[in-house]
Structure 1
Amino acid sequence: MSLPTTQKQWFVKSTGKGIDGLVLESGPVPSPGENEVLVKVQGASLNYRDLAIPRGTYPFPLALPVIAGSDGAGVVVSVGSKVTKWKKGDRVTTLFNQAHQFGPITDVACKSGLGGTLDGTLRQYGVFSQDGVVRTPETLSDVESATLVCAGLTSWNALFGLKPLLPGQTVLVQGSGGVSVFALQFAKAAGARVIATTSSADKAEKLKKLGADHVINYREDPNWGETARKLTPEEAGVDHIIEVGGKGTMTQSLKAVKYEGIISIIGFLGGAQPKDSIMETLNRICTVRGVFVGSRAQMEDMMAAVEANNIRPVVDEKVFTLAKARDAYDYMWDKKHFGKVGIKIE
C-alpha cells in the first residue's frame, strides 16, 4: 500500500496565548533519513507539559513552531538504508528526550524533547531516529503504550532511578493524574505500600481499586502530610513521595517524608514558586530531586516490567480523535480526567 503524501498535524505556533497557540494544519508526510524510521502514529496521549507549552509556562527549551506532543505509538512503515534495529511492521513507542539514551540527563539530551524542540506525535506520520523509539509491549494497545512515554517513564525514574524503591517501603502519590497513577501501579508491583491523596470520594474509590492502601482527602484534611506520616510503620515517614503540586503541596510533603527519604518533584500544578526554604531539606534530612522523564535504557526496563507484570495503563474513559485534540486539551485542563487522556489517530 502506497503512503499518502500529506497528513494532519497539530502545531504549537506561539506561547502565551493559551489554546489559541495550537493550530491544526496539513503538511507533508516526511521521508526517513538513513538512520531513521517512519512511524504511522496510531495512539497518543497528553501531559500537563502539553498544556503548559502554549500557555507559556513550560520551563524547558522550545523551538517554535513545533508539532505538539511527546507521547506516541504506532507501526513502522518505512526504514532508512542504515537502520538495523527495526523493520517494517514493528510496533514502536516514542522516547521523550530523543538524545537521552542512558545515564544522567545532559544539556544536549534536555534539548531533544519531542513536541518541544523536535517535532512531536500529534500527527499521522512521524520520522524518528532508530534510537528514538522502543518496542511496544505486546500486551498494550497503541494508546495505552503511548501513555508511558512521559508520565510512565517519569514515575519509573522517580521510584527506581536514584535510590530504588524496595519491597515493604511506602510511597505517597498526589492526586490521580498520569504520573501519580503510574507510580501507584509500579509501587504495588514492587511490593510497596501506597498512600494516595485526592479531592473527591469518587476518585478515592478508583485509587483504592488500583491498590492504594490508604487514601487521604486533602480538602478535608489540609494537614495531610502529618496524617500520611502516621500511616507509616512506627510513624517514621514516607520513603518516596511523588510531588506534583509544587507550591501548593511541598510543605505537606516535607512533613510526610522519612529521614533519608526522597521527594521527587514532577510538576507544579499548584505553582512553581516554593513556600519552603531549601534549608528545610536539612531539617527533614531528605533528598528533594527534580525528575525530567528518563533515558532509553530506563524506558526499556520499564516496558519489560509493564509486560512481565501485566500492568495496564489507566486511560480515561473518554478517548479523543486527532481532529478533536483541542477538546482533549480543554478536558485535561478542566481536570475532568482520571489517569491519562488518550488520543486515537487514524
Structure 2
Amino acid sequence: MSLPQKTREYRLTKPDGFHNLILTEAPIRKLKSTEVLVKVHAVSLQYRDLIVAKGQYPLGQKENVVPGSDLAGEIVAVGEDVKGWKVGERVCSNFATDHIHGDVTEEIKNTGLGAPIDGVLTEYKILPAHSLVRIPEHLSYEEASTLPCAAVTAYNALLGAVPLKGGDIVLVQGTGGVSIFGLQLAVASGATVIATSSSNKKLEIAKKLGATHVINYKETPDWDKEVLKLTGGRGVDHVIEVGGPGTIIKSVNATRYGGQIHVIGFVAGLADVSQLPVLILSKAVNVRGILIGSRTQFEDMNRLISAVKLKPVVDKVFDFEHLRQAYEHLESQQHVGKVVVKVSKD
C-alpha cells in the first residue's frame, strides 16, 4: 500500500477559546529511522485541552498548536532502525513521548503532546518508537484512547511511589476521567473506594463501578467529616485530589496520619490555603504532584487492565468533523468518564 502524503489536522489558530480550532491539511514529512507513522483511530479529550484552548495552560504551550494528547491507532510505517514494532499493530503513545521510566524532568515535561509540542488531533501522527505501548486486546480504539493521560495518572497515583494494598481505602473526587479510572483501578487492586460528586445520578454510576460509599458534596458540604465517620475516625489511605486549592484542606482532614494525597488537578477553583503546611505537618501526610507517568508505568497498567478485563468508561463519541461539539460537551461537565473523538472512518 502507498503511504499517505497528507494529513488533516486541527490547529488552534488563536489561544482564546476552542472556537479557534481550524481543520487544515498538512504534508506528512519523511520518517526518521527511529520513528513510526501511526494512523489515528481515536483521541480522548482532557480538561487540559480546554485550558490549552484558552491559552491558560500553566506548563506552557506553543503557538498554533495541534491539540490533544491521547491517541489510539495503528502503525502504518516504521523507520529502518525501529525494533520490536511492525505495521498493523494497535498502539497508544505515552503522554510525554520521552518519559520512558523514572521521574519526570524539565526535558521530559517539554515532550507532552498537545501543548509544548504538537498533539494528536490529526489523521496521521509521527511518533518516536520508544513512546509506544500495545493496546490491551479486549479494548476498542475508542476505549484505548482514554488510557494515556487519565488512566496512567490514576495508576501512577495509586500504584506508583507508595502502591496501595488490598484493604486500603481510597477517596476519589468527582467522576471525571482520572477519578473514574482511580475508582476502577483501586477496586481492581482490592481497595475500598469512597467517591464524591455533586450529582446523585453520577454517584449511582460510581456505585455500579464498585464504589462502596458515595457522598454528594452539595448535600454534605462537610464531606471530610463524613469520610472520617465512614472510616471510623481513621481517614483514608489515598486521595485522588483533582479539586486543588478549593478542596485540598478537606482532603488533608479526610486522610489518615501518614496517608497519601495525590495532587492532579485544580478544577475546584482558588481558596485560602495558608493553613495547609501546618495541617500537612500535623498529620505527617505525604502530598505528591502527579505529572501523568512513564511508558513503563503505562505497560504495567495495561497488564492489570488486561488481567481484570477492565473497561474504560466512555461517555460519548464524536466524529472528527465535530470536534468543537466534543469540546462543548466536555466543558458542560455533564459527562461521566471520557469524551472521545473518532478520527478514522474505518
TM-score per shorter chain, which class?
Answer: over 0.9
- The aligned amino acid for 1:107 is E
Provide Cα deviations, 1:229-280, integer angstroms capped at 9, x if missing partner: 2111x32001000011112211211110111111101101112565343332
What's the CA shift for 1:85? 2.1
Q: 1:269 & 1:26 partners in 2: Cα distance?
A: 34
Residue 158 of structure 2 corresponds to which residue in structure 1?
A: 159
Partner SS, residue 324 of structure 1: helix
Aligned-residue RMSD, C-alpha: 1.3
Residue 81 of structure 2 corresponds to which residue in structure 1?
A: 82
Residue 4 of structure 1 corresponds to which residue in structure 2?
A: 4
Residue 140 of structure 1 corresponds to which residue in structure 2?
A: 139
Indicate if the aligned counterparts of 2:19 and 2:324 stay in contact, CA closer than 8 A. Answer: no
Q: 1:311 & 1:270 partners in 2: Cα distance?
A: 29
Q: 2:63 & 2:280 partners in 1: Cα distance?
A: 37
Residue 181 of structure 2 corresponds to which residue in structure 1?
A: 182
Residue 269 of structure 1 corresponds to which residue in structure 2?
A: 267
What's the CA shift for 1:5? 2.3
- The aligned amino acid for 2:295 is R
How many residues matched? 343
Q: 1:191 & 1:20 partners in 2: Cα distance?
A: 43
Is there any run of 5+ residues in structure 1 with no aligned partner, and where?
A: none
Indicate if the aligned counterparts of 1:9 and 1:26 stay in contact, CA closer than 8 A. Answer: yes
What's the CA shift for 1:54? 1.6
User: After the TM superposition, which residues 238-253 of structure 1 pair with which residues of structure 2 at under 5 Å, given as runs?
Assistant: 238-253=236-251
Residue 51 of structure 1 corresponds to which residue in structure 2?
A: 50
Aligned structure 1 segments of 4 or more residues deviating by more than 3 angstroms: none
Q: 1:272 & 1:127 partners in 2: Cα distance?
A: 38
Q: 2:14 & 2:263 partners in 1: Cα distance?
A: 27
Which deviates more, 163-172 or 47-56?
47-56
Indicate if the aligned counterparts of 1:42 and 1:143 stay in contact, CA closer than 8 A. Answer: yes
Q: 1:283 & 1:19 partners in 2: Cα distance?
A: 43
Indicate if the aligned counterparts of 2:12 and 2:18 stay in contact, CA closer than 8 A. Answer: no
> Is 1:14 the counterpart of 2:14 in the alignment?
yes
Indicate if the aligned counterparts of 1:30 and 1:38 stay in contact, CA closer than 8 A. Answer: no
Percent identity of the aligned residues? 45
Residue 59 of structure 2 corresponds to which residue in structure 1?
A: 60
Partner SS, residue 38 of structure 2: strand
User: After the TM superposition, which residues 312-331 of structure 1 pair with which residues of structure 2 at under 5 Å, given as runs?
Assistant: 312-316=311-315, 318-331=316-329
What's the CA shift for 1:192? 0.3
Indicate if the aligned counterparts of 2:38 and 2:125 stay in contact, CA closer than 8 A. Answer: yes
Correspondent of 1:341 among 332, 339, 342: 339
- The aligned amino acid for 1:259 is Y
Provide Cα deviations, 1:178-201, integer angstroms capped at 9, x if missing partner: 000000000001100000001112
Provide Cα deviations, 1:120-149, integer angstroms capped at 9, x if missing partner: 111110000001111111110111111010
- The aligned amino acid for 2:59 is F
Partner SS, residue 105 of structure 1: coil
Partner SS, residue 7 of structure 1: strand
- The aligned amino acid for 1:315 is V
TM-score (norm 1): 0.96
TM-score (norm 2): 0.96
